[in-house]
């Protein structure tokens, strides 16, 4: 790659950034994945699904490497196995509340499976590296289209279940009493999460995908108590760190995934420091699940 130099002229920088095909693809796919992950991430945080999300990213890794072994496209395996696991988690979710050891055991199995497929695939390769750490600068136009179509479907589904999902996440018992199909909504959300995990894995890799799925939602939760603002803020944070990370990767010889994960972590820590200092933190409890719903 030809390294260009960053200048203080923002217009020049922008032209530099978009002059390469691979960079336009990366900005586009990264942006789409970031929007989806930012929106989904709010509910990951609200529903306490961080560990489940992390497990889904490892499931994705096993799925992708398994698909390569039997000669399918990695994306098919990635999406297929995460969706399957999402349905299984949805069926178990009622009993999973507060029992993170069950998710832990699923993770144990998944890690072993991933390693098994990796070994069958004859060890370490560039594909494995790409799967673990992302290959955002090597996306083809077809990859971009796949990410875009998947994200559009997932966002439409999220919009369709938004109100019942928010209700069920904030107070499950009340929602159930009012006739919200709580379990169907939970499973539908987990399926959307599976698509988001797939998109994030394409962009920043299986090991780092959680960065886009947890940190933006958690950051936004500290700043606002209104659902719509929370969602928009989370999307903005995800988009901001992804694009900044990509731009930094063009000018610095370090991987984009490193910048994206570091930026999302640093943003969260900075916001925590600020909100802990200001009195903002006392506003937070409004956007938390009702104690009864925690079970």
Partner 1 sequence: MPFIAATLTNAPFSWNPVDDLNQLFTYQFMRSAYLAATATAIVAGVVGYFVVLRGLSFAGHSLSLMGFAGATGARVAGVDPLVGLLVVDGAGALLIGALARRPRGRDVVVGIVLTGTLGLGLLFLRLSRAGEALPVLVGDVLGISATEVTIVEAAAAVIVVLVAVAFRPLLLSSLDEEVAEARGVPTRAMSLLLLLLLAATTAVATPIVGVLLTFSLLVAPAATASLISGRPPVAVGLSIALGVLYIWIGLGVSYWVDMPPSVFVTAMAFAVYVGARTAETFAAWRAAAPSRPAAA
106 versus 165: smaller Cβ distance to partner 1? 106
Residue 206, classed as helix, strand or coil, is coil
Residues touching partner 1, count (CB under 8 A): 50
Interaction between residue 254 and partner 1 (CB under 8 A)? yes
Distance between start and end Cα atoms, the chain = 53
**Residue closer to partner 1 (CB basis): 155 or 259:** 259
Q: How far is the CB of 211 from partner 1 (least distance, A)?
A: 4
Q: Give, as ranges, the residues between 9 and 48 that touch partner 1 (CB under 8 A).
A: 45, 48
CA distance 86 to 83: 5
Write out the binding residues for partner 1, residues 263-292 only, by CB under 8 A: 264-266, 268, 272
Stretch that binds partner 1, among 19-27, 51-59, 69-77, 165-173 (CB under 8 A): 51-59
**Which residues, 124 to 143, sit near partner 1 by CB under 8 A?**
124, 128-129, 132-133
Chosen residue from 30, 66, 77, 255 binding partner 1 by CB under 8 A: 255
Of 159-188, which residues contact partner 1 (CB under 8 A)? none
Site string for partner 1, 97-126 (x = CB under 8 A): -xxxx-xxx-xxx-xxx-xx-xx---xx--
- Name the residue nearer to partner 1 (CB basis): 76 or 105: 105
What one-character-per-residue DSSP string does 89-133 give?
A: HHHHHHHHTT-HHHHHHHHHHHHHHHHHHHHHTTS--HHHHHHHH
Q: Quick check: 54 binds partner 1 (CB under 8 A)?
A: yes
Least distance to partner 1, CB of residue 242, Å:
13
Q: Say if residues 204 and 212 touch (Cβ distance below 8 Å).
A: yes
CA-CA distance, 211 to 238, in Å (whole number)? 9
Q: How far is the CB of 269 from partner 1 (least distance, A)?
A: 8
Q: Which is nearer to partner 1, 100 or 143 (by Cβ)? A: 100
Q: Which residues, including other chains, have CB under 8 Å from residue 237's CB and lie 6 or more apart?
A: 38, 215, 216, 219, 220, 264, 267
> Which of residues 84 and 109 has its CB atom nearest to partner 1 in the complex?
109
Spatial CA neighbour of 117 closest among 144, 77, 90: 77
Stretch that binds partner 1, among 19-27, 31-39, 139-147, 203-211 (CB under 8 A): 203-211
Residue 19: phi, psi to the nearest 5?
Answer: -80, -20
Among 261, 275, 287, 293, binds partner 1 (CB under 8 A): 261
H helix intervals, 121-255: 126-133, 141-170, 172-177, 182-204, 210-221, 227-251
Task: Please give the Cα distance from 185 to 181 (Å, whole number).
Answer: 6
For the chain, how big is the Rg over CA atoms in Å? 19
240 binds partner 1 per the rule CB under 8 A? no
- Read off the tokens for 36: 């989806």
Give yes or no for a contact between 256 and 134, defined as CB atoms under 8 angstroms apart: yes
Cβ nearer to partner 1, comparing 100 with 171: 100
Contacts with partner 1 by CB under 8 A lie at: 45, 48, 50-51, 53-54, 98-101, 103-105, 107-109, 111-113, 115-116, 118-119, 123-124, 128-129, 132-133, 207-208, 210-211, 214-215, 218, 254-255, 257-262, 264-266, 268, 272, 294
């Amino acid at each position: 790659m030809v390294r260009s130099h960053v200048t203080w002229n923002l217009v020049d920088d922008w032209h530099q950034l978009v002059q390469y095909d691979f960079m336009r693809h990366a900005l586009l796919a990264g942006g789409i994945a970031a929007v989806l992950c930012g929106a989904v991430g709010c509910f990951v945080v609200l529903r306490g699904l961080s560990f489940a999300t992390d497990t889904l990213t490892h499931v994705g890794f096993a799925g992708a490497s398994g698909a390569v072994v039997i000669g399918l496209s990695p994306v098919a395996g990635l999406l297929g196995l995460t969706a399957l696991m999402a349905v299984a988690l949805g069926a178990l979710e009622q009993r999973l509340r507060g029992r993170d050891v069950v998710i832990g055991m699923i993770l144990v199995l998944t890690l072993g499976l991933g390693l098994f497929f990796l070994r069958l695939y004859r060890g370490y390769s560039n594909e494995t590296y790409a799967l673990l750490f992302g290959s955002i600068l090597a996306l083809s136009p077809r990859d971009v289209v796949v990410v875009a179509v998947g994200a559009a479907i997932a966002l439409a589904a999220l919009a369709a279940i938004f109100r019942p999902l928010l209700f069920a996440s904030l107070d499950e018992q009340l929602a159930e009493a009012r006739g919200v199909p709580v379990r169907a909504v939970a499973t539908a959300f987990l399926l959307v999460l599976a698509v988001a995990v797939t998109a994030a894995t394409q962009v920043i890799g299986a090991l780092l995908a959680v960065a886009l799925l947890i940190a933006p939602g958690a950051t936004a939760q500290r700043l606002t108590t209104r659902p719509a603002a929370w969602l928009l803020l989370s999307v903005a944070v995800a988009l901001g760190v992804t694009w900044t990370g990509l731009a930094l990767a063009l000018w610095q010889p370090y991987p984009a995934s490193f910048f994206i994960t570091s930026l999302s972590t640093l943003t969260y820590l900075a916001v925590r420091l600020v909100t802990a200092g200001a009195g903002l933190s006392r506003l937070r409890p409004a956007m938390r699940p009702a104690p009864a719903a925690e079970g």
